[in-house]
Amino acid sequence: MFDGTDEVDVEAVTAAFGTVEMVAKGRAAGAACPDSGRFSDRVHDRYRRTLKDVPLAGRGFVIRLTVRRFICGVADCPRRTFAEPFSRLAAPHARFTTRLNHALERVGLALAGPAGARLAAQLGFGAGRMTLLRRVIALPDPQFSTPRVLGVDDFAIRRGQTYSTVLTSVEDHRVVDVLPTREAGPLAAWLIRYPGVEIVCRDRAGAYAEGARRGAPDALQIANRFHLWQGLGRAVETCVAAHRD
Ligand SMILES: [Zn+2]
């Protein structure tokens, strides 16, 4: 699919010191200049490009690619020479193959941080925590749809110190957004920006009630079950304490 191995001719494969090396060169007769679009097969020079790929049978896998630089023959083209592209094998200037990048994205999405880095190391991907993070950050945002039933909850970033608000889609249990505070303002602004919420499932905090009222006046507000139970528990406790004698 995106492995691009049909873009290259393999010249040699060697295995040494736990690494498999594949020496390869472009298979195409020539390429089109990215500026003029004119096809060229006039080779100016060649250079070596190293691409790290997904491990092969438990060994590191490296592709040593000979890249041709073609001469653009168009007189008024601003580009005199251009490197042959390997569009499916790897992005321009990338040091990893597209296939390895996809694998790292999947690991990074499933297991962020140190756990992902450990798994990547065990699989022989040799990618640190920051590499995984960069791959995940570079991903396009997933398709967003405004949930019909919105859950609004606060959570502490550092225990008891900084509070944020997490918005969830109650019906399909996914996190929709995170707001920087637990004030009414950001919630109201969010609801105005993403209209269509019919039910706001919130805790009993006055700020969320006010935010929902301002941002989605037509939405039904319900206190969520956890907070109802918590409130009931507190009421029972107070009542029992009052009648202890
Ligand atoms: Zn050109």
79, 121: one domain = no
DSSP strands (E only) in the chain: 8-16, 19-26, 31-32, 39-40, 43-56, 59-71, 81-83, 149-158, 162-169, 174-179, 199-202, 220-223
pLDDT at 243 over 90: no
What is the 49 CA–ligand 1 centroid distance (Å)?
22
Specify if 144 maps to a domain.
no
Q: Bigger pLDDT: 244 or 191? A: 191
Residue 47 lies in a domain: yes
Nearest to 8 by CA among 23, 24, 22: 24
Give 11 Cα–ligand 1 centroid separation in angstroms: 29
Tokens for 27, please give them.
């298979």
Cα separation, 123 vs 56, in Å, equals 10
Rounded to the nearest whole angstrom, what is the distance from the C-alpha of residue 41 to the centroid of ligand 1? 12
Ligand 1 centroid to Cα of residue 31, in Å, is 11
Is residue 103 one of the residues assigned to a domain? yes
- pLDDT grade for 74, boundaries at 50, 70 and 90: very high
Indicate if the pLDDT at residue 127 is higher than 70.
no
Average pLDDT of span 217-244:
75
pLDDT band at 228 (very low <50, low <70, confident <90, very high): low
Rounded to the nearest whole angstrom, what is the distance from the C-alpha of residue 70 to the centroid of ligand 1? 10
- In which domain, by residue range, is 57 found? 1-87
Quick one: CA dihedral 92, 96, 102, 105, positive or negative?
A: negative
Q: Do 75 and 135 share a structural domain? A: no
pLDDT of residue 157: 66
Residue 169 placed within a domain? yes
User: One-letter amino acid identity for 107?
Assistant: V
Q: How far is the CA of 102 from the centre of ligand 1 (A)?
A: 32
Residues 77, 12, single domain; the answer is yes
pLDDT interval class at 140 (50, 70, 90): low
10 Cα: distance to centroid of ligand 1 (angstroms):
28
For residue 228, the domain's CATH number is: 3.30.420.10
| Residues 59 and 132 placed together within one structural domain of the fold | no
Q: Give yes or no: residues 83 and 127 share one domain.
A: no
Distance 36 CA to ligand 1 centre (A): 4
182 falls in which pLDDT band (50, 70, 90)? Answer: confident
**Could you tell me the distance, in angstroms and rounded to a whole number, from the CA of residue 30 to the centre of ligand 1?**
13
pLDDT interval class at 158 (50, 70, 90): low
Calpha distance 153→191 (Å, rounded): 15
162 in the same domain as 235:
yes
Structure confidence at residue 23 (pLDDT)? 94
Average pLDDT of every residue of the chain: 83
Tell me the CA–centroid distance for residue 28 and ligand 1, in Å.
Answer: 18
Choice between 87 and 127, residue whose per-residue pLDDT is larger: 87
Q: Tell me how far the alpha carbon of residue 87 lies from the centroid of ligand 1, in angstroms.
A: 18
How many Å apart are CA 88 and CA 94, to the nearest integer? 12
Q: Is pLDDT at 238 greater than 90 in this prediction? A: no
The mean pLDDT value for 147-163 works out to 78
**Cα-to-centroid distance, 33 and ligand 1 (Å):** 5
Residue 122 is assigned to a structural domain of this protein: yes
58 within a domain of the structure (yes/no): yes
What pLDDT is attached to residue 41? 95
Stronger pLDDT, 106 or 68, i.e. the higher one: 68
Rounded percentage of the chain residues whose pLDDT exceeds 70: 84
- State the Cα–Cα distance between residues 104 and 90, nearest whole angstrom: 14
CA distance linking residue 41 with residue 114, whole number of Å: 47
Domain count, the chain: 3
- What pLDDT, on a 0 to 100 scale, did the predictor assign at position 40? 95
How confident is the model at residue 46, as a pLDDT? 96
113: part of which helix (H) or strand (E)? helix 113-122
Distance 85 CA to ligand 1 centre (A): 14
How far does residue 29's CA lie from ligand 1's centre (Å)?
17
| Separation of CA 156 and ligand 1 centre (Å) | 56
37 Cα: distance to centroid of ligand 1 (angstroms): 6
Q: How many A from CA of 75 to the centre of ligand 1?
A: 8
Let me know whether 217 and 154 are in one domain: yes
Same domain, 63 and 13: yes
The stretch 124-136 carries a mean pLDDT of 70
If pLDDT is split at 50, 70 and 90, which confidence band does 206 have? confident
Q: How confident is the model at residue 1 (pLDDT cuts 50, 70, 90)?
A: very low
Q: What is the pTM of this model?
A: 0.53
Measured in Å, residue 39 CA sits from the centre of ligand 1 at 9
Q: What is the pLDDT of residue 101?
A: 83
pLDDT band (50, 70, 90) for residue 160:
low
Both 162 and 212 in one domain: the answer is: yes
